[in-house]
Amino acid sequence: MLRIKNLVSGGIITNYKCSSKCKHCSYSSSPKWPDDYMTPSMADEIFSILKSLGCDSVHIGGGEPLLKPDKLLGVLEAAQRNDIGIEYIETNASWYKDEASAKAVLKEIKGHGVNTLLISIDPYHNEYIPFWKVKALVRTCSETNMNVFPWLMDFWNDIDAMNDHIPHSLDEYAQLFGQDYPVKLLNRYGLNLKGRALKTYLPMMKKQPYKQILEESRPCKLLSGVYHFHVDLYGNFIPQSCPGFSIPLKELVNGADPDKYRIFNSLESTGIRGLVELAKEKFKYIPKNEYAGKCDLCYDIRNHLVLELGLDLPDLKPEGHYKYI
């Protein structure tokens, strides 16, 4: 059985819908996602389970959680009911309109036990969000005694070199700072190359022979990561650093059937070789000659199953991770 016995720290994905479609997003968030948001009842269920597994606090992210502040408050109330602390809420500042309305939102979430905002500060977000909004939100947080967790201040001067009233493409950054800027950005940010981030950087990655990848196959212990897990608005447990896979958290507590989640189980028990064998035997997958590593091969198989074959597989949820990349 696939089972989790304890968890240390992680995050809650309240929604996948976002005001941006950032090139570095490992969760493939974008404006195209359905307008779904975590319900208070789902939040209660999740927080209750997390508490039983020894997890006393989480961060909240998306998508953009503050697209719907009223819905967010319902999640925060559920956290309080279950004695779960909120370390911070992630935001891209796109929702900022003016000081008065921002102060009202910050006052509400402070009243629900939140003392810190993680504000995204990077060129990827700046492709969609003018920097003046980030600056204004940082200033408003200071005026309302809301702590700011800037992610990352290392990029402040880069972004501030541009006109802060309008967004700027990565091409503009490359023109200003050099054509290798996007590659350097990858390392400076410390990207998790999954989802749209993998798609963005795939053309720049060195290819490996397919057979070599299989020879190096090792079990992907996806469930062994008790740090930085996520649980989404549908109640899916998303393994550490590996979006696009999911098993309902409530099933993992009691033991999830590996036959039901055979895509996940093949990787967790055998590695990429196991998934390839399953895909070839059951789903008529035809491998290419080379890939940019095991994750590229894994995504190619998953895209084949979800997008090309249109299969409804319980461990490859939500489908939007593949559809809205």
Q: Report the mean per-residue pLDDT for the chain.
A: 97
Instruction: Kindly report the pTM of this predicted structure.
Output: 0.96
The pLDDT tens digits for 152-177 are 999 999 999 999 999 999 999 999 99
Q: Does the pLDDT at position 216 exceed 80?
A: yes
DSSP character at residue 61: E
What distance in Å separates the CA atoms of residue 253 and residue 51, rounded to the nearest whole number?
12
Cβ atoms within 10 Å, residue 171? 12
10 Å CB burial of residue 157 (0-12, 13-18, 19+) is: exposed
Confidence band for 225, pLDDT divided at 50, 70 and 90 = confident
Which strands form 236-238's sheet, in the order they lie side by side? 147-151, 116-120, 85-91, 57-61, 9-13, 227-232, 236-238, 247-248
For residue 15 the two structure tokens come to 């929604």
What distance in Å separates the CA atoms of residue 50 and residue 250, rounded to the nearest whole number?
10
The pLDDT tens digits for 99-132 are 999 999 999 999 999 999 999 999 999 999 999 9
Residue predicted with more confidence, 241 or 296:
296
Average pLDDT over residues 11-26: 98
What are the φ/ψ torsions at residue 224 (nearest 5 degrees)?
-75, -15
The pLDDT tens digits for 262-289 are 999 999 999 999 999 999 999 999 999 9
**What pLDDT does 222 receive?**
79
Confidence band for 227, pLDDT divided at 50, 70 and 90 = confident
The pLDDT tens digits for 176-185 are 999 999 999 9
Catalogue all structural domains in the chain, each as residue range(s) with its CATH number.
9-205 (3.20.20)
For residue 222 the two structure tokens come to 């996806």
